């Protein structure tokens, strides 16, 4: 009987440890690498439209949550807050002025914009894993206007609208004055009866600096460009 009880206690102890470890791993993935490891967030980003899209990560009531604004350029847009498993936590806005989390502005902390295409055609993704994975594509020119980086490039494509372009930041910050960041520009070309066209696409880079901060952007095999984040309301 004594050995049976010891065996049962051992199983219970190991089970608790496994659960605790799984919870810690899930929490770390949610907090540290949502763009790389949370599939529903990746799906949302891959299916954004021209109305603008933004995801902001917060700490709220003891958990990591994500504010999803799916229409930056829409008035009376309904904003939804989800947890890591895409369970709806609350929502506010919309034509009816709904607000199921009136304390969000005061209780939500540690706001981090993890994806945005505010005021620009596309957003800039911060992802060490994706930065290592993607090849870089050639750039003709790059110019910053407000908080948008306008990149001009040649592409072999039959598409009227060029959607398959990505700007990825490595997530690394090089300590200098000003600080420096590493970026890659990537094109996915359509090689079915292609035509060479020259295109310019703008990327929102406001998530790469704090308000008023100056950073040096090192674009792979293109060069450097200095960016000072404008404060917008």
Whole-number pLDDT of residue 1: 53
Facing residues of 60 across strands?
63
User: E strand or H helix at 198, and its extent?
Assistant: strand 195-204
Whole-number pLDDT of residue 190: 62
Q: How confident is the model at residue 31 (pLDDT cuts 50, 70, 90)?
A: confident
Q: How confident is the model at residue 159 (pLDDT cuts 50, 70, 90)?
A: low
Task: Provide the Cα torsion 113, 110, 71, 79; round to 10°.
Answer: 160
Burial class (CB in 10 A: 0-12, 13-18, 19+), 45: middle
CB 137 within 8 A of CB 220: no
Task: Provide the Cα torsion 205, 208, 212, 214; round to 10°.
Answer: -100
CA–CA separation, 66 and 229 (whole Å): 23
Question: Domains in the chain, ordered, with CATH?
Answer: 34-116 (no CATH), 122-228 (2.60.40)
Tell me the backbone φ, ψ of residue 143, rounded to 5 degrees.
Answer: -145, 140
Task: Tell me the pLDDT tens digit for each residue of 120-132.
Answer: 888 888 888 889 9
Q: Which residues does 161 contact at the CB level (< 8 Å), separation at least 6?
A: none
- Does this model's pTM top 0.75? My answer is no
CA–CA separation, 58 and 105 (whole Å): 11
Whole-number pLDDT of residue 143: 95
> 79: closest CA among 61, 101, 103, 48?
101
Q: How confident is the model at residue 157 (pLDDT cuts 50, 70, 90)?
A: low
Average pLDDT value for the chain: 81
Lowest mean pLDDT among 80-94, 95-109, 158-172: 158-172
Task: Examine the pLDDT at 90 and tell me if it is beyond 50.
Answer: yes
Higher pLDDT, 67 or 15: 67
CA–CA separation, 146 and 132 (whole Å): 28
Q: How confident is the model at residue 183 (pLDDT cuts 50, 70, 90)?
A: very high
What is the average pLDDT across 46-64? 82
Whole-number pLDDT of residue 27: 61
């Amino acid at each position: 009987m004594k050995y049976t009880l010891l065996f049962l206690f051992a199983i219970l102890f190991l089970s608790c440890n496994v659960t605790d470890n799984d919870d810690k791993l899930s929490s770390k993935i949610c907090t540290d690498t949502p763009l790389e490891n949370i599939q529903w967030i990746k799906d949302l980003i891959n299916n954004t439209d021209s109305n603008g899209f933004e995801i902001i990560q917060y700490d709220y009531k003891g958990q990591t949550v994500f504010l999803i604004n799916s229409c930056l350029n829409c008035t009376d847009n309904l904003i939804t807050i989800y947890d890591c498993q895409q369970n709806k936590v609350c929502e506010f806005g919309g034509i009816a002025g709904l607000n199921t989390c009136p304390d969000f502005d005061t209780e939500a902390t540690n706001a981090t914009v993890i994806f945005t295409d505010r005021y620009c055609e596309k957003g800039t993704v911060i992802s060490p894993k994706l930065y290592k994975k993607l090849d870089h594509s050639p750039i003709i020119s790059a110019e910053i206007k407000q908080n948008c980086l306008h990149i001009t490039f040649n592409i072999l494509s039959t598409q009227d609208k060029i959607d398959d372009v990505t700007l990825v930041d490595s997530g690394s910050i090089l300590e200098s004055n000003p600080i420096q960041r590493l970026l890659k520009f990537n094109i996915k070309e359509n090689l079915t009866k292609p035509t060479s066209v020259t295109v310019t696409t703008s990327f929102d880079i406001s998530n790469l600096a704090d308000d008023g901060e100056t950073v040096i952007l090192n674009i792979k095999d293109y060069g450097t460009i200095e960016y000072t984040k404008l404060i917008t309301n």
